[in-house]
Structure 1
């Protein structure tokens, strides 16, 4: 079977995280949306549809996949924002693939999935695949499926998602890595410790409230406390004396201080004391020592958050919500972020007081005002940062980031 994950016309509300990645590359638990979909619908061939502006970066991220290539055989199209979970809808979608007719699965006028035995040649040529492109297919209305529609959905129900993913990945109760003397592991049957991973002396790992998944080469530092559900990606680091609960850390991310209910995408660092709560960081972010996020309003009211597609702050329905930060953004020591703050791509924030709750991409400054962050300087910083992880800024990344800078009204030269 050919599986094609697609982006629809609603990914704009997930900016700034989707300015630099396809929606299905969002980490929403121990796995990304793509990883969950591929595990549920194992493909013989994988095609990834994304916006044309992201095709180069997506190809680098997924060399095993065909990018924006028109399928020439029976194909299952799956919305990249769908948080795929076993159930009646998944079984119905699987069954559709065994039929000879085109069938579309629709929830609230959003195309969730489509099986097509002979897809039209131009199906993935546009930047967005929508219900209109399923014309002619028999339509089945479904309900109850989770779609990542807004930034706050990235961290919603995070503990339950990590638990589901850890159980789906298997291997709980297996500890291949190193557990040093003086470590306390509570309910080891719900802890996975992969090869090359280490739990340092004095650390406490509690899995009685949810599983703890520690990936290859990851590290839990001396006297750290990790309270599940938690997942640590390959080479992720929980620093000495840190406290982490109900959070998902990506590849080579590093955290210190206190982290609660948060997603840290790969290669980002919150290496020092300070609080990160109910928040999501993109890649290559860095939070200075003592940085704190507020995740609860003083009046305990509903948090609002910036929605790029709406161009306004909108209600979230959430009482607890902290910071969303786009790729390559950074802040200085003792930065304070207000409840429900959104920071764009390649921002550099510093100074006393709270920065604005919406900081556009390529901004420089803080509470006293924002100025353009020159793209040329930003790219030099990125090169220095990435060299520390044996990486370079690729041509595809540079092109896309230049487009984002230009859209922000900056001179990228």
Structure 2
């Protein structure tokens, strides 16, 4: 029997928008997501997930492949914790991973170190081989042995790899095309494509991503696309996101002041009051783009913008916060049936299917935030 581990989601305003569907524990923050890293280190671990909202806990546990905390322990423990009376919910577990480790600002602060540590662990497992000498037409600035390649990775002539500030890892079946520049620490996930792109580390690119243009100090979740010109800086992008050509983030205020998010006070925006500022303690921060968001060509995102799950962004520059399933700038909503049908079309392009757990989570989030804006006949 393996160890028992609790994923303790405290649902802070600085962490909840990183991923509504997969939670912060299922969102990439290096070569892996925290729950993936846990399973690599402790394959036999029994994992439980806690969230203040009982129904979300159940839905998210299914997505994570974990047990809901409330299915293992009495509800009164959760209620006492939420009332601030006790932290007893953690006492039954041998280890606790706290969502505070993955708040938005800290994700980017820790990204370079996590990439370095994850590469070292992957090399020890035999997943990567250090480059001996660059191939034809591939140029390395720094030390070639700090480039780590999966045997099935492909580097094409015209690629420049810069390891002076950290290592670079290119995973299975990933390709780096002509006129691409990658500065470490950086990771390109399995089946990803880097085409005519400038990756300025620390950067983590998820599996099956397509990237181009300029990306600096950012995370892209699995199956997301930013394949054209445009700048993505100091930003966190969820899974299954599409950023159209020339989508650009601002990651520095004109007065060089501290960046603040403007987000609802409660977990579900339809239940809370007006958005409130959440300081990040950082001068540089771009945007959080939630899971399954689509952003039209030429869109500019202001510093500290948060686009919540399932939004379809078009026709102008969005406000600092868009609620879940927003459809354009009018306050209309992406209808659930249309959203799921579009997901089916999008997922199959990457040989993926829309599973039951994803459908259930999407339906729960859509219903729970239905009063965040009027519905649309879409």
TM-score clears 0.5: yes
Structure 2: gaps (5+ residues)? 93-97, 267-274
Contact kept, 8 Å, 2:9 with 2:49, in 1: the verdict is: no
Question: In structure 2, what is the Cα distance between the partners aligned to 1:240 and 1:344?
Answer: 29
Q: Would the alpha carbon gap of residues 123 and 409 (structure 1) be closer, same or farther in structure 2, given more than 3 Å must change?
A: closer
Residue of structure 2 in register with 1:238 after alignment: 194
Residue of structure 1 in register with 2:111 after alignment: 158
Partner SS, residue 170 of structure 1:
helix
Question: In structure 2, what is the Cα distance between the partners aligned to 1:48 and 1:313?
Answer: 31
Contact kept, 8 Å, 2:25 with 2:99, in 1: the verdict is: no
Query: Deviation digits for residues 159-197 of structure 1, max 9, x if unmatched?
Result: 233223222332598258997520112312111100211
Paired residues for 1:201-350 under 5 Å = 201-309=157-265, 311-350=275-314
Residue of structure 2 in register with 1:181 after alignment: 136
Paired residues for 1:375-386 under 5 Å = 375-386=336-347
Which of 323, 326, 340 is residue 363 of structure 1 equivalent to?
326
Q: Which moved more, 1:20-29 or 1:1-10?
A: 1-10
The Cα shift of 1:13 comes to: 4.2
Residue of structure 1 in register with 2:269 after alignment: none
Q: Would the alpha carbon gap of residues 54 and 124 (structure 1) be closer, same or farther in structure 2, given more than 3 Å must change?
A: same
Provide the TM-score with structure 2 as the length reference: 0.82
Residue of structure 1 in register with 2:30 after alignment: 29
Question: In structure 2, what is the Cα distance between the partners aligned to 1:58 and 1:412?
Answer: 31
The Cα shift of 1:279 comes to: 0.3
The Cα shift of 1:335 comes to: 0.6
Structure 1: gaps (5+ residues)? 72-119, 139-144
Residue of structure 2 in register with 1:394 after alignment: 355
Contact kept, 8 Å, 1:177 with 1:196, in 2: the verdict is: no
- Alignment RMSD, CA only? 3.3
Residue of structure 2 in register with 1:87 after alignment: none
Partner SS, residue 56 of structure 2:
helix
Structure 1 residue 132 corresponds to structure 2 residue 96 = no
Q: Would the alpha carbon gap of residues 379 and 43 (structure 1) be closer, same or farther in structure 2, given more than 3 Å must change?
A: closer
Question: In structure 2, what is the Cα distance between the partners aligned to 1:198 and 1:128?
Answer: 54
Question: In structure 1, what is the Cα distance between the partners aligned to 2:199 and 2:91?
Answer: 51
Query: Deviation digits for residues 120-178 of structure 1, max 9, x if unmatched?
Result: 8548995997882538969xxxxxx9933632222223223322322233259825899
Contact kept, 8 Å, 1:282 with 1:327, in 2: the verdict is: yes
Contact kept, 8 Å, 2:286 with 2:302, in 1: the verdict is: yes
Contact kept, 8 Å, 1:178 with 1:199, in 2: the verdict is: no
Of Structure 1 and Structure 2, the greater helix share is in: 2
Provide the TM-score with structure 1 as the length reference: 0.76
Q: Would the alpha carbon gap of residues 129 and 195 (structure 1) be closer, same or farther in structure 2, given more than 3 Å must change?
A: farther
The Cα shift of 1:23 comes to: 2.8
Partner SS, residue 119 of structure 2:
helix
The Cα shift of 1:222 comes to: 1.1
The count of corresponding residues between Structure 1 and Structure 2 is: 352
The Cα shift of 1:241 comes to: 4.3
Structure 1 residue 53 corresponds to structure 2 residue 56 = yes
Contact kept, 8 Å, 1:321 with 1:340, in 2: the verdict is: yes
Contact kept, 8 Å, 2:157 with 2:177, in 1: the verdict is: yes
Q: Would the alpha carbon gap of residues 398 and 162 (structure 1) be closer, same or farther in structure 2, given more than 3 Å must change?
A: same
